[in-house]
């Protein structure tokens, strides 16, 4: 056998919650905290922690505003995040279509 090496997968993206976040944000202009929570199916705490990690890495930007008296958190993917997400998808493809 002549192994063709698999590329590493960006660990910042290869977590179910963060993959969900980036996948959604790559397909919309922006998304609210609640929309992400409902769509991904996770808790406030878990989503917050993962959003913070992505923001710290510069993959997303987070804006906090008020809708009346209610706080509203809106997230967008950054250019850096989109580039990283595309690289991740390219690398992942090799895992999903592995041929000997």
Applying CB under 8 A, the residues found at the interface with a second copy are 1, 3-6, 8-9, 11, 14-16, 19-20, 23-24, 26-28, 31, 35, 38-41, 89, 92, 95-96, 98-100
DSSP 59-88: SEEEEEEEETTEEEEEEEE-HHHHHHHHHH
Smallest distance from the beta carbon of 1 to a second copy, in angstroms?
5
Q: What is the distance between the alpha carbons of residues 20 and 2, in angstroms, rounded to a whole number?
A: 34
Smallest distance from the beta carbon of 22 to a second copy, in angstroms?
9
Q: At what angle do helices 44-56 and 16-25 cross, to 10 degrees?
A: 70
In the bound state with a second copy, the residue whose beta carbon lies nearer, of 5 and 70, is 5
Smallest distance from the beta carbon of 32 to a second copy, in angstroms?
8
In the bound state with a second copy, the residue whose beta carbon lies nearer, of 23 and 87, is 23
Could you tell me which residues come within 8 angstroms of residue 89 by beta carbon, excluding any fewer than 6 positions away?
Answer: none
In the bound state with a second copy, the residue whose beta carbon lies nearer, of 70 and 100, is 100
């Amino acid at each position: 056998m002549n192994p063709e090496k698999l590329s590493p997968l960006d660990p910042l993206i290869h977590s179910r919650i963060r993959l969900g976040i980036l996948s959604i944000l790559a397909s919309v202009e922006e998304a609210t905290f609640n929309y992400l929570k409902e769509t991904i199916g996770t808790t406030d705490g878990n989503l917050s922690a993962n959003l913070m990690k992505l923001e710290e890495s510069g993959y997303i930007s987070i804006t906090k505003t008020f809708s009346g008296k209610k706080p509203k958190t809106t997230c967008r993917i950054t250019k850096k995040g989109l580039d990283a997400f595309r690289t991740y998808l390219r690398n992942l493809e090799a895992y999903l279509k592995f041929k000997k």
